[in-house]
Structure 1
Amino acid sequence: MSGRGRARRAAAVLLLVLAGQATPALAVTPPAGATVRGTGVVTWAASAQRVGEGADRAYRLIVKVSAGGTDLRVRLSNAFGDRPLTVDGAHAGLQAEGASLKPGSNRALTFDGEHTVTVPAGGTVWSDPLPGRVAAGARLAVSLRTPDARGPATGHELALTTSYLGRDADPGGAGDTGWAPTTGSWWYLDAISVRPAHPRTGAVVALGDSITDGWGSTPGRDRRWPDDLARRLRADGTGVANEGISGNRVLSDDDGGPSAGRRLERDVLSQPGVRTVILYEGVNDLKAHHGASAAEIVAGYREITERAHAAGLCVVGATVAPFKGWLQWDPAAEAVRREVNHQVRTGGDFDAVADVDRALRDPRDPARLRPDLDSGDHLHPDDDGMRAIAGAVDPPSRNCRR
């Protein structure tokens, strides 16, 4: 099916009101874990991975939301845990600087009306809606404590954002006392949703590998390509969720986590308000070390696309960018890449195509990244390259139907 979409335009910038200003709470609070697609819009996400061992510790996790709206909710994940996880003292507020928060902004989160929640091994839970309004592009601090955590911890390794750890820190406080050391990962938090101003507003999920995860972009500056896409789509409140994992593959698991197909339900289909998924994976499958064929990769794309279509989503397929100069490049891998890209452009499986290859390739040597878009390793784009990827994406309209 040919692409019919136009990029959605962004939403009015809204002030986060987490304390004292009169946005009413919902009349009915749904139970924790009950919300799936359709009751809000995912405004931030990070795919769950195993990130180390659980500990008696507090976390102050810094994230930047995409869409604005009311009734903020957070999703906690114990996807890789081998035992129940207790979380208490969970709060959400506005970051001021470092670990300090804007005065009066830090508000307690509840789960089915309680301040403590137990997340089952392998499971997730959503918080209750938090009264107030969150601005598009706001930088939030989600603080929580895991008093009895042991065993494998769940989070996201490559945050490219500084968050904070504490032993005796107070998740409900606004100051930076006790919040040390820092961490470059997110722990236990894997999604945030809001209720947008317009009920038809939806979200886009970027399902990808290290390029989507932001490797090669400037840390701390929110210059991953999904961040650039979120800025592009801000005018109508569209949410953008980044579900990239470094090293991820279409066809098989790796040390970073399960394959794109195996994590599709958790990272895409379960997210609230999703209308479109952008599938940008494949380079890790075709690199010479792994050696998948073009037919195998395209079949993997097709399986993911069919499942997304069955769930009512539009699917944007992205061509694979060049990577000549990377250690695992060879002419055979290049031939597979070109065949995969031909199938993405002409195979008719996708609702739209983002031609990332065309946006990034060097016209003098199409097997290489343009030098001015290369982070230096010949695989990962720099900040300008990330913007070029976002510019190549034209999501189908929210009224896409098959």
Structure 2
Amino acid sequence: MTRRIASVGGALAMVLTLVVPSGHALAADSGRAAGRHDTITWGSSADRLGEGVAGRGYRLVVRTSVGGDHLRIRLSNAFGDRPVTFDSVYAGLGAELVRGSNRRLTFEGARSVTVPAGQTVHSDPLPVRFAPESDLVISVHSPNAAGPATGHGMAMATSYVTQGDHTADESAADWADDRTGSWYYLDAVTVRTTASIGAVATLGDSITDGWQSSTDLNRRWPDYLARRLRGSTATTVEGVANEGISGNKVLADGAGQSALGRLERDVLSHSGVRTVFLFEGINDIKAHTGVTAEGVIAGYREIIERSRAAGLCVVGATVGPYKGWSEWDAAGEAVRQEVNAFVRDSGEFDGVADFDRALRSPYAPERLLPFLDNGDHLHPNDKGMLAMADAVDLASLECAEPSSA
């Protein structure tokens, strides 16, 4: 289906009635029931995105993982150098905005909220129910945005930009012409679920971010993982927050803050996260800056320690092959092998996903299997993303108590 924001009526409404799962219907929910809690259903790592523009609106399309009610969003000004006011924020349903679904969000009862520099804010709960894997449309407008804007640069999804406040509009008229491949100011969506349901946050780089997967089709490996988790009896982890940033490193800032630097904001601060899935290291290894296996492993250990201190399980993934990429050399390959031996054999993780084994060629194990290679010899294609998700032992995402290794 061609992606567009549209007011739905007539024959198109009939089509949407057929293709939108019944759980998408919005239903009033009067309040918190016993044995329920908030769980992140969508997340995206914050970074600096150019300069904010006063009077601009953004209509952001995101895909949830776990279903629930009492939806809340988190607005981020993490990289701003001054307060940003949002005077109108709405949440609606469908990659094509379904008529009647667009609801105003409030903040401590007010329609407007000012987010201080370096801070985040949550909306009040919206007492409606959303099915798993729902497309949500979050519309925000700021009258005074300026200075560094906060957002996520590589969304692998189409969103929309306009000048002026059209957040309440269900029509596409003022949104259709200006598109963006980034998400602005929004970094999390949570829903209320039964207390037994938790989430996994995938801390990673461009491969987790979904680079070279198909735009607007939600074929990043965390998307495929979310589909596997839905209805699985192997674990009660159902939510997935994709906390990948293209070019990200474990140890050093550059393409976003390092994994160590952003762990608290992008993982530990989110509601309902039970497990950290750590898949980082290739950008440290191939950077040719004297990074050693010992250094990467030390970074892994710090992430494990801090995550366990927050009561979370930690699953580690081996670093995939990359021979044929311009920065590959034998020294970097030796570091990768040593890092992967630690992930597989140290016993310091609560679980292991062997992405190297899932992606490598049996005939040239330093290389991606051609069938799974998008062509640059580093990033998997859609089939490679699926192979990665299939390599995750779902039961490993849940441990009764994190080990104390």
**TM-score w.r.t. structure 2 length?**
0.90
Instruction: Supply the distance in 2 between the matched residues of 1:135 and 1:237 (Cα, whole angstroms).
Output: 16
Could you tell me whether the CA contact under 8 Å between 1:288 and 1:332 is conserved in 2? no
Question: Structure 2 residue aligned with 1:161, among 144, 150, 157?
Answer: 157
Instruction: Provide the C-alpha distance between the structure 1 equivalents of 2:43 and 2:92, rounded to a whole number of angstroms.
Output: 17
Name the counterpart of 2:28: 22
User: Runs of 4 or more off by more than 4 Å in structure 1?
Assistant: none
Give deviations 1:275-328, integer Å, cap 9, x for gaps: 001000000001153331001100100010010011110000000000000000
The equivalent residue for 1:31 is: none
Instruction: Tell me the CA shift for residue 397 of structure 1.
Output: 2.0
Change (3 A) 1:383 1:400: farther
Q: Distance in 1 between matches of 2:187 and 2:266?
A: 9
- Opposite residue 123 of structure 1, the aligned amino acid is Q
Task: Note the C-alpha offset of 1:348.
Answer: 1.6
Which one-letter code corresponds to 1:46 in the other structure?
S
1:201 to 186, 193, 197: 197
Aligned 8 A contact 1:40 1:272 in 2: yes
Partner of 1:281: 280
1:186 matches 2:183: yes
Greater per-residue helix proportion: 2
Residues 163-206 of structure 1: per-residue CA shift (max 9 Å, x gap): 0001135101111011130000000000000011x211000000
Which deviations, in whole Å up to 9, do the C-alpha atoms of 1:28-55 show, x marking residues without a partner?
xxxxxxxxxx941000000001111111
1:301-312 alignment runs, 5 A limit: 301-312=300-311
Instruction: State the aligned residue count.
Output: 373
Q: 1:41 aligned to 39, 42, 49, which one?
A: 39
Q: 1:325 to 1:338 in 2, by over 3 A?
A: same
Higher relative contact order (CA 8 A, sep 6+): 1
Q: Return closer, same or farther for 1:110/1:26 CA change in 2, 3 Å cut-off.
A: farther
Any stretches of 5+ residues in structure 2 without a counterpart?
1-20
Structure 2 residue 135 is matched with structure 1 residue 139: yes
Structure 2 vs 1, CA of residues 388 and 366 (structure 1 numbering), >3 Å: closer, same or farther? same
The 3 A distance-change label for structure 1 pair 350 and 398 is closer
SS at match of 1:243: strand
Contact conserved, 1:14 with 1:136, CA < 8 A, in 2? Answer: no
The share of aligned pairs that are identical, in percent, is 58
* Contact 2:88–2:165 (CA under 8 A) maintained in structure 1: no
Aligned to 1:50: 48
Tell me if structure 2 keeps the 8 A contact 1:319–1:356: yes
Q: Which residue does the alignment assign to 1:80?
A: 79
- Residue matched to 2:297: 298
Q: CA deviation at 1:26?
A: 4.7
CA distance in 1, matches of 2:237, 2:39: 9
> Which deviations, in whole Å up to 9, do the C-alpha atoms of 1:212-248 show, x marking residues without a partner?
0001211111000000000000115710000000000
CA contact 2:237–2:398 (8 Å) conserved in 1: no
Which runs of no fewer than 5 residues in structure 1 stay unpaired? 1-12, 28-37
Partners of 1:200 and 1:105 lie apart in 2 by 29
C-alpha contact 2:59 2:137 (8 A) present in aligned 1: yes
Q: In the aligned structure 2, how far is the partner of 1:400 from the partner of 1:317?
A: 17
Question: Does structure 1 conserve the Cα–Cα contact (< 8 Å) formed by 2:95 and 2:137?
Answer: no
Say if 2:350 is the partner of 1:340. no
